[in-house]
Amino acid sequence: MVDTGRTIEKIKTVGVSLRPYSPELKDYFQELKDYLKQMGIDTLIDESSASMIGVEGLSAETVFELSDYLISIGGDGTFISLARRSFKYQKPILAVNLGNLGFLTDVDSNEILKAVHRVNEGDYRIDQRMVIKVTTEIGGEENSFYAVNDIVIKHMFNKMTRINLKIDGVLANKYHGDALIISTPTGSTGYNLSAGGPVVFPYAKNFIFTPICPHSLTQRSLVLPVDFDIEFSVEEEDAILIGDGQDTVKFGNKDKIKISMSSKFVHVIHRKDRNFFNIVRDKLGWGDS
């Protein structure tokens, strides 16, 4: 655990984001809103979620700016989306699980009222999770964006691709295969795990490189600390980089992709007794005979 010691001084306003395509969440949201109102707390909801359930909402940016903390109601994907969109506002997030697996979401759907009560009473901890800063140098222009879970490098037409990895300026590997996943420890239990990559303790500061269907049987996942200078290039013209399944950047063999750990983190509200190893044992069935 990485308890930051951070607390929310005075809770006056909470922002809510709902899982897309789930209009059935209207009554669930209303119950939460009424409960928070009893505690003297205002509830804001972003326009996208609001229109889905037929209520009034505010722009996501306004919700993020005005809220003391945020609640994501859905699954891991809903949490990742909210974490990405609200990243620059650095607001703590309480994640409610309506999905099946829920590695990242801390609260079961039937416990949400207890959870917000605990937060209001100060019975919680705020942990921080690292984020990838992706810097692209394409056509002489430099841009950057952030990924909470992972980035994927692949051929845009799903052909084989050749990806060169440089570490501190030295060519460390040439990946030849379908794609390469670069994940955070948070993302290690997502696409990376499905592709045969390792589970990494979520509060570690590492990058995990996992090739997808490599042409060489000796290619395996690589876990590196974040202190290295890491750069990627490809040998084809039609490559794409996908961040958290959302941001897509096209690049070619004259361009460069660099990654580093962001100086800012995603801040997640957890129960004080939350234990990562209990979660993976439950979700992955570790120890079952």
Tens digits of per-residue pLDDT, 194-214?
999 999 999 999 999 999 999
pLDDT at 163 over 60: yes
Sorting pLDDT into bands at 50, 70 and 90, what band is 159?
very high
Domain positions in the chain are: 13-129+265-284, 132-261
Phi, psi dihedral angles at 236 (to 5 degrees): -105, 170
Q: What is the mean pLDDT of the chain?
A: 94
Q: What is the DSSP letter of 226?
A: T
pLDDT of residue 201: 95
| Cα(46)–Cα(44) distance, integer angstroms | 7
Tens digits of per-residue pLDDT, 225-275?
999 999 999 999 999 999 999 999 999 999 999 999 999 999 999 999 888
pLDDT of residue 2: 58
**Which residue, among 71, 72, 192, has the nearest Cα to 132 in the 3D structure?**
192
pLDDT of residue 69: 98
- Residues whose CB falls within 8 Å of the CB of residue 30, separated by 6 or more in sequence, listed in order: none
- Helix or strand run (H / E) with residue 78: helix 76-85
Q: Which CATH number is 132-261 given?
A: 2.60.200.30
76, 127, 150, 178: the catalytic one is: 76
| Cα(214)–Cα(183) distance, integer angstroms | 17
Domains 13-129+265-284 and 132-261 in one fold: no
CA quadruple 211, 217, 218, 222: dihedral, nearest 10: 20
Cβ-in-10-Å burial (0-12, 13-18, 19+) of 255 comes to buried
Position with higher pLDDT, 5 vs 187: 187
- Helix or strand run (H / E) with residue 52: helix 47-53
- Helix or strand run (H / E) with residue 58: none
Residue with token string 């420890």? 185
Sorting pLDDT into bands at 50, 70 and 90, what band is 4?
low
**Which CATH number fits the domain 13-129+265-284, given the four candidates 3.40.50.300, 3.20.20.70, 3.40.50.10330, 3.65.10.10?**
3.40.50.10330
Own/partner contacts of 189-193, CB < 8 Å, gap of 24 or more, are: 189/103, 189/104, 189/280, 189/283, 190/76, 190/103, 190/149, 190/150, 191/149, 191/150, 191/152, 192/150, 192/221
Identify residue 64 by its one-letter amino acid code: F
- Helix or strand run (H / E) with residue 28: helix 26-38
Q: How far is CA 180 from CA 122, 134, 164, 210, in A?
A: 42, 15, 10, 6
Q: How large is the average pLDDT for residues 17-36?
A: 97
Sorting pLDDT into bands at 50, 70 and 90, what band is 3?
low
Q: What is the DSSP letter of 188?
A: G
Tens digits of per-residue pLDDT, 98-134?
877 678 888 988 999 999 999 999 999 999 999 999 9
Q: How far is CA 276 from CA 102, 105, 167, 201, 204, in A?
A: 12, 12, 30, 8, 12
pLDDT at 53 over 60: yes
Q: Are 122 and 111 in contact (CB under 8 A)?
A: no
Q: Is 178 a residue of the active site?
A: no
Tens digits of per-residue pLDDT, 279-288?
888 888 887 7
Helix (DSSP H) and strand (DSSP E) numbers for the chain: 7, 19
The pTM of this model reads: 0.92
